[in-house]
Amino acid sequence: MEQSSARQEIIQKLKQAPAEPVGPRPVLPPLAELSMTQEELVKRFTERLVEETGVVYRVKSYEEAIEKLTEIAQAENLKKVMVSTDEVIGQLNLPAWGTKQGIKIMTPLDFADRDSYKDAVFLEADAGITGADFAVAESGTLGIRHRKDQARLISLAPILHIAVVPIERLVPTYEKAIDQVFANKNSLPSQFVFITGPSMTGDIQGVLFKGMHGPRKLMVILIG
């Protein structure tokens, strides 16, 4: 009975307390990234991704991107690679490159059913190679629209994710990427993900682990 009385007293005091006036929210200062040049955005993106243990390579052309992929493949001893079929990766002609390098190039279209594709991307692929729709400078983040030519598991399942990104897809902030994703309501992707560095999680004591639920390594090739 005493507990109920105390509860009612507290509620009554809360009801009688004068309401605090709610003023306008303070104006946020402009983000520095919004006034950066393209080269400054590249520098910021690279710095932020490296802080997350990612790696960024800058090349001038798709031809140089292939050369860089060859270096990575040799260094990482890649034998089987799952690749997306988006417009960026399509310009690299990776099947021909794979034949020349002795690397088996696989795409989701090569598999008759989802189960065989899942087994290949999880158990066989040494790396996944995809394009990316955005590279966000403020945080070193990739943005990927998932759709028919950009299967989600390619960037999430293999131990190494290599993303190829034309420099014109570099944006200063998250908001700029989101605005573009939702600009056309009639062509929204099935899913959209932001990727900031390799997969990372922590245990109850705060000890961090890389790659427990996704790639242990993330490499980005910026073209332009």
4 within domain boundaries:
no
pTM for this model (two decimals): 0.82
113 within domain boundaries:
yes
* Domain that includes residue 126, residue range: 34-199+209-223
* pLDDT tens readout for residues 35-63: 889 999 999 999 999 999 999 999 999 99
CB 221 within 8 A of CB 73: no
* Residue 6 confidence (pLDDT) above 70: yes
Q: What is the CA 131 to chain-centroid distance, rounded?
A: 10
Helix, strand, or coil (residue 26): coil
28 within domain boundaries:
no
92 within domain boundaries:
yes
Q: For the ranges 25-34, 119-128, 134-143, 159-168, which has the lowest average pLDDT?
A: 25-34
Return the amino acid letter for 11.
I
159 within domain boundaries:
yes
pLDDT value at residue 27: 78
How many domains are there within the chain?
1
Residue % of the chain over a pLDDT of 90: 65
Write down the mean pLDDT value for the chain: 89
Length of the chain: 224
* pLDDT tens readout for residues 200-222: 666 666 666 565 667 899 999 99
9 within domain boundaries:
no
Q: Which of 132, 156, 174 is nearest to 48 (CA)?
A: 174
Q: How many other C-beta atoms are found inside a 10 Å radius of the C-beta of residue 115?
A: 9
Half-sphere exposure for 129 (CA within 13 Å, toward CB): 32
Q: Please give the average per-residue pLDDT across 133-162, as a whole number.
A: 94
CATH no. for residue 160?
Answer: 3.40.50.10420
16 within domain boundaries:
no
pLDDT value at residue 201: 66
5 within domain boundaries:
no
pLDDT value at residue 88: 96
